[in-house]
Amino acid sequence: MVSEMTSKERVLAMLNRKPVDRVPVITGSTMVKEYIEKSRSSWPDYHSNAEMMVNTASLMHTDAGLDNIVLPFGMFIESMAIGLEVKMGRIDIQPSVRSFFSKPEEVKYDNFLEDKFVKTTLEAIKLAKAKYPDAAVTAFLVAPITLTGDLMGAENLSMLSIKCLHKEKQMQKMQDWLSIALEINRVYAEACVEAGADIIYYSDASASPNLVMPEFYYQVAVPAEKEIGDFVHHLGCPWELHICGDTVPIIEGMASTGADCLSVEQAVNMKEATKIAEDVPVVGNVTPLLMVEGTEEQIIEETRAGLDSGAKASMLGCGTPPLSTSDRLKTWVKAVADWSADNL
């Protein structure tokens, strides 16, 4: 019988493949409209105000009962810091990147850590660590293939990913872009770990089989994700890898990156994914929309199905939708606790 754990101990035990007192409940994002309003934060200030960000994000832990606190809101910080155009969204829509560079030489990142949004992330990590030492403070960063797509444009990434598999010159072009993304990844990850992040959560949405061929994933993306993952481990920090879409064709590659757990979405057959990943923990695949419009029965049924199929933590298939409601989030957390009581 494992004695009662703090949230941080519970999540780190899961990542280290050790016994837990109950299955962790974790998320990849925490920008929830109801909590923004409850914490009296205001758009768009909560993207550049560390106290507002922590006050909102922490409600996923203190009110809903999730085990981690994720910072920052959204996947735009890296792009904003190097000068790309970002549409800031609104209280219920996350920011999105709207421009890209024409060639790698245009990307300037010498002053990356001086950007106000990067500084906000680092300040928020420090603040969350101080206020909630028992929570697993998680830095949400953009992984190398997705950041490469932001740099060159997602459509250009998709086209070049096909060409580079057959032509050495095109492969060199891809590597020129990718090397810049990896350098930005390293600078940002090191700063987040120094600020106190317990975990780095890397979202590599553009590495999805929906956008690039599995052959590209194995030949180009796996070495890149392993390179940044090894760097994060060298800093003494565990890391998670999330890729969108039906990732079953690339689960073996995801597991080979050295990630401490793999996050998958609802399109993935959890039983098949856990079998392929072998001893690498797989989490996720609870349909995010259930947190917006799901019934109690639907939330309980899908949560238990994922755990019955071998998930080592319960997590939504992608980020938490901004229109999620606190009562549904609490139903989800309770479903995990009840399953744990029945099965651990």
pLDDT at 318: 86
Please say if the pLDDT value at position 1 is more than 80.
no
- Predicted pLDDT of residue 153: 96
Closest CA relative to residue 338, chosen from 291, 300, 305: 300
200 class by beta-carbon count within 10 Å (0-12 exposed, 13-18 middle, 19+ buried): buried
Tell me the pLDDT band of 281, cut-offs 50, 70 and 90: very high
Report all structural domains of the chain as residue ranges with CATH numbers, in order of start. 7-342 (3.20.20.210)
- Taking the C-alpha atoms of residue 261 and residue 278, their distance in angstroms, rounded to an integer, is 11
What is the C-alpha to C-alpha distance for residues 9 and 91, in angstroms, rounded to an integer?
32
Query: How many CB atoms within 10 Å of residue 124?
Result: 27
The confidence band for 339, taking pLDDT boundaries of 50, 70 and 90, is: very high
Summarised one tens digit per residue, pLDDT across range 54-74 is 999 999 999 999 999 999 999
Per the rule left: phi > 0, alpha: psi between -120 and 50, beta: everything else, 286 is: beta
Residue type, 116: K
Which DSSP letter does residue 309 get? T
Q: How confident is the model at residue 254 (pLDDT cuts 50, 70, 90)?
A: very high
- Give pLDDT, residue 2: 75
pLDDT of residue 81: 98
Task: Please report how many Cα atoms fall inside a 13 Å half-sphere around the Cα of residue 10, on the Cβ side.
Answer: 22
Q: Is 241 helix (H, G, I), strand (E, B) or coil?
A: strand
Mean pLDDT calculated for residue range 10-35: 97
67: tokens are: 């085990």
Reference 224, options 164, 262, 174; nearest CA is: 174
Distance, in Å, from the CA atom of 44 to the CA atom of 48, rounded to the nearest integer, reads 8
Query: What confidence category does residue 3 fall into, taking pLDDT thresholds of 50, 70 and 90?
Result: confident
**C-alpha span between 58 and 79 (Å, rounded):** 25
Helix (H) or strand (E) holding 126: helix 116-131
User: What tokens appear for 108 in the block?
Assistant: 């300037």
What is the percentage of the chain residues whose pLDDT exceeds 70? 100
Question: Worst-scoring range by mean pLDDT, 9-13, 119-123, 317-321?
Answer: 317-321
Q: How far apart are CA 92 and CA 70, in angstroms?
A: 17
Question: How is residue 92 written in tokens?
Answer: 């219920």
What is the reported pLDDT for 161? 95
Percent of the chain with pLDDT over 90: 98
Mind listing the pLDDT tens digit for each residue in 183-222? 999 999 999 999 999 999 999 999 999 999 999 999 999 9
- Global confidence as pTM: 0.96
66-96 burial code (b ≥16 CB/10 A, e <16): bbbbbbbbbbbbbbbbbebebeebeeeebbe
pLDDT in tens, 293-314: 999 999 999 999 999 999 999 9
pLDDT in tens, 92-142: 999 999 999 999 999 999 999 999 999 999 999 999 999 999 999 999 999
From CA 14, how far away is CA 166, in angstroms rounded? 40
Residue type, 194: E
Which amino acid, one-letter code, is at 248? V
The structure tokens listed for 90 are 């609104």
Whether residue 10 has pLDDT greater than 70? yes
